[in-house]
Amino acid sequence: MTLRLRVLPFSLQDTMECGQFFRFTRSGETYIVQSSGRIFSLWQRGETLFSEGVEEAFLIQFFRLDEDLDPILREIDQDSIIHQAIQDYRGLRLIRQDPWECLVSYLCSSAKSIPQIRSIIEGLCKSSGRKVQFGNFIGYEFPESLCHASSSYLESIGAGFRTQYLIQANRCIDRDQLRAFRKLHYLEAREKLMRIPGVGKKVADCVLLYSLDFLEAFPMDTWIKKGLQRTYFRGKKMGEKRMEQYVSRHFGPFAGYAQLYLYHFWRRHPITP
DNA sequence: CGTCAGGTAGCCA
DNA sequence: TGGCTACCTGAC
């Protein structure tokens, strides 16, 4: 059965391909997505989002469709650069990921390109064994636990030094504990996440923003750093601390959305120093 | 063959 | 706080 939803503003392509989420494959105009134990397809025509294999309520929480995007964009629209990004990618939305899947994904992300991250994650999923089919597409479910993944297996799929992060994180945290962080204040939740081996500021902020509804989190990756330095600080060297304070004050409580737009923008218009 | 990558942790000034 | 390095590994 095909589901149709009218959504405005919404850009499926930017939302899927901006780098926040890894578990999808695209064929033509259609995306096959795996998240939270589901597998479903998505495509967009004009203002209508079509979907098969998933219920409406899930899509609404997945794409945060219950959140009115326009007022948020108005609020972060504080300068000409973000203004440009908003013009270009209006409808780019934050995806609400499963916290465990999100943590594991971003633990794999350090010093890896997106295709490499995806390949590690796919390897992990294959090891969990549970095969799922959707039309002609064969996928594998995200492992609930990494207890059965040996370190030699993790290395064989290219996890490298992230192997120990995965094994130790798996030992010390689970999905329910991650969910419980929602109740905390941002800095407190961040500090607790950073006690997990392999989780520093950047990964913590990704988990907070992409899966735990902390919209003030602003993951400082190298693209964003370069972009901020070049464009907002005229090439002047800035400490990371000052940059954090700046974006938090400049963009306010929805800074995470600003990060999403700027990141996407700078990846498409690479910074050449 | 060397360098570098969407990061973290550990050590030092 | 700021700065530097090693860490696995594959890509350029």
Tokens 């939270």 found at: A36
Put simply, whether the predicted model's pTM sits higher than 0.95 gets the answer yes
Nucleotide nearest to A19 (CA to C1'): B6
| pLDDT score at A272 | 61
Nucleotide nearest to A110 (CA to C1'): B7
How many Å apart are A265 CA and C4 C1'? 30
Per DSSP, what are the bridge partners of residue A48?
A6, A45
Q: Tell me: the pLDDT tens digits for A119-137?
A: 999 999 998 878 999 999 9
CA of A53: how far to CAs of A71, A78, A122, A132, A234, in Å? 31, 39, 21, 12, 48
How many Å apart are A23 CA and C5 C1'? 33
CA dihedral sign, ordered A16, A20, A21, A24: positive
Phi and psi (nearest 5°) for A48?
Answer: -110, 130
**Contact between the CB of A201 and strand B at under 7 Å:** yes
Which residues of chain A (211-270) touch nucleic strand C at CB < 7 A? 237, 239-242
**Contact between the CB of A155 and strand C at under 7 Å:** yes
Q: Does residue A224 carry a pLDDT above 80?
A: yes
How many Å apart are A158 CA and C12 C1'? 18
Give the Cα separation of A215 and A253 in Å (integer).
6
**Contact between the CB of A110 and strand B at under 7 Å:** yes
Q: Tell me: the pLDDT tens digits for A134-174?
A: 999 999 999 999 998 999 999 999 999 999 999 999 999 99
Q: Does residue A271 carry a pLDDT above 80?
A: no
- A81 versus A239: the higher-pLDDT residue is A81
Residues in chain A, overall count: 273
CA-based nearest residue to A38, from A52, A19, A22? A52
| pLDDT score at A139 | 94
Nucleotides of C under 7 A from a protein CB: 1-3, 7-11
**Contact between the CB of A172 and strand B at under 7 Å:** no
Which residues of chain A (65-104) touch nucleic strand B at CB < 7 A? none
Phi and psi (nearest 5°) for A37?
Answer: 75, 15
- How much of chain A is helix, strand and coil, in % rounded to 5? 50, 15, 35
Q: Does residue A270 carry a pLDDT above 80?
A: no
**Contact between the CB of A161 and strand C at under 7 Å:** yes
Residues 6+ apart with CB under 8 A from A170: A145, A146, A147
